[in-house]
Amino acid sequence: MASISNITFACENPPRMARFWAAALDYEIQTLPPNLLQDWLAAGHDEDEAAAIVDPKGQGPRLFFQRMDKRPEVPNTSIPIHLDLHSRDPQALVDRLTSLGATLVAHRSRRIGDTEDRWIEMRDPEANGFCIESPA
């Protein structure tokens, strides 16, 4: 059996995305120990080239944000990531994420047979899509 340990996002501004998603998910910014940061910089990397957040409870995967070109015509770019979030109070979550820089796109629904799915479509500060499950 496998489990997800890390999810990598291509983005323009890794520190900004890390701050947004850390606040959105109640995660913490992961800081590099000074010796690893020194090695990272010595290898020619920019300090703002990557950022990561971790679940303080140690239950969820690490989210890693790396500066990469996301244009589809550029080879070897990452596939966009789309997260679906769950909340006991979806509207309160929408309000909180909007205050952090997210954008509300639309309330959506889809019926398949007797089942109706509802969700709220949003965009993070770099316009990456994500959704919040919404009760029927």
CATH of the domain at 26: 3.30.720.120
In the numeric block, which tokens belong to residue 120? 């709220």
Do residues 73 and 87 both lie within one domain? no
Report the alpha-carbon distance of residue 24 to residue 65 in Å, rounded.
15
34 and 97 together in one domain: no
- Tokens of residue 109, six digits: 């629904």
Rounded Cα distance between 24 and 130, Å, is: 12
Total domains, the chain: 2
Do 58 and 120 belong to one domain?
Answer: no
Query: 105 with 134, same domain?
Result: yes
In terms of residue numbers, what domain contains 122? 82-136
Same domain, 30 and 96: no
Q: What is the pLDDT of residue 72?
A: 61
State how far the Cα of 33 lies from the Cα of 92, in Å rounded to an integer: 36
At residue 17 the predicted structure's pLDDT band, cuts being 50, 70 and 90, is: very high
d(CA 51, CA 38): 15
pLDDT band for position 8 (cuts 50, 70, 90)? confident
Looking at the structure, tell me whether residues 95 and 56 fall in a common domain. Answer: no
Q: Are 134 and 86 within one domain? A: yes
Cα(33)–Cα(94) distance, integer angstroms: 34
pLDDT digits (tens, 9 = 90+) for 122-135: 999 988 888 898 87
Instruction: Confirm whether pTM is higher than 0.85.
Output: no
Residues 5 and 53 in one domain: yes
CA angle 95/98/99 to nearest 5° reads 85
